[in-house]
Amino acid sequence: MKIGILTSGGDCPGINATIRGVSKAAINCYGMEVVGIHGGFQGLLDIDTEPLTSMSVSGLLTSGGTILGTSREKPFKKKATDEEKNERKRLITDNVKKMGLDAIVCIGGNGTQKSAYKLSKIGLNIVSIPKTIDNDVWGTDQTFGFDTAVGIATEAIDRLHSTASSHRRVMVIEVMGHKAGWIALHSGIAGGGDIILLPELDYDINTISRVIMDRFKKGHTHTIVVVAEGIKTMNGRKAGEFVAQQIEFETGIETRQTVLGYVQRGGSPSTYDRILATRMGAHAADLIARKDFGKMVCLRGDKISSISLEDVNDRLKLVTEDNDLVVQGRRIGICFGK
């Protein structure tokens, strides 16, 4: 068999480890031929590929980013007409035949999973692997990249404790996550955050200000507020900036904000993410060997398994009120906004 691998959407620690996992298992265990498709789904439209060998993927385990490059290109854009969509379907189908691909591995987040499902619907043999630091892909307990991002965010929170304490300030740290608060929740708990604001849970700035004032009255020298970038703000303002300004206005306490941004997505993957990416990549090769297509590789408990792409399509995994970290966080005195 001949298979292609593409990476789509934002970069993420562990993508290269996944490419390595797929390739090495496909070549060494199943005797497959492997090609890398450049620039995400755009590479399917342009037939932009390179051969991948066991030698060429050696050394990828620890490297960040993606050697194949990525893009936000979607093969079936919402604004495209039916005629344009049908033309793209024909082009992609013809190109896959020209390349002689028996299957394609799509590595990416929610947008990629949606596109992968649509490709499987037009008859292509697709296996996908979930990747995102946001950890919001439905059907898997965890995505690779998340552990690395949480580690980076936690280290930043650790460092902010000392400067906040020295200056008797409130420090607001904004972390990534779009509509999901997983990074804020995990790093906030691990970093000793006093207030954690998530997109999924409503918050009241007056309650937050009252909690901060109570802390200072009790002798606490500083307060750490961890904010997910996707929380609701007035007039669409940036989360960290909005919360910091509101807190300082309400309390009169000097407040500073730090936005971690893309540093959470860069660099070498953590040990956990290297292992998870390798396991998921090798499992994808096994699914292809068994011709079990239309599936997304997933982590369930401590087992690597798979789920139908149809079940994953258009669904998000979000934090809920009854999440154990939220429940236990409240028990130890963390404020989640109300």
User: Who contacts 33 (Cβ-Cβ below 8 Å, separation ≥6)?
Assistant: 1, 2, 3, 27, 51
Distance CA 97, CA 252 (A): 66
Residues flagged as binding site for Mg(2+): 110
CB-CB contact of 301 with 140 (8 Å) = no
In angstroms and rounded to an integer, the radius of gyration of the C-alpha atoms of the chain is 22
Q: Which residue spans within the chain are E strands per DSSP?
A: 2-7, 33-37, 49-52, 103-108, 126-130, 170-175, 195-197, 223-228, 255-259, 295-300, 303-308
Selected catalytic residue, list 48, 102, 134, 302: 134
Using alpha carbons, select from 257, 313, 249 the residue that is nearest to residue 119.
313
Q: Is 134 a catalytic residue?
A: yes
Residues placed in the known binding site: 10, 72-73, 109-112, 132-134, 169, 176-178, 229, 256, 262-265
Q: Which residues are annotated as a binding site for substrate?
A: 132-134, 169, 176-178, 229, 256, 262-265
Quote the CA–CA distance of 120 and 115 in Å, as a whole number: 9
Dist CA 65 CA 41 (whole Å): 17
- Structure tokens that stand for 186 in this block: 């995990």
Q: How far is CA 173 from the centre of its chain?
A: 19
Residues identified as active-site:
134
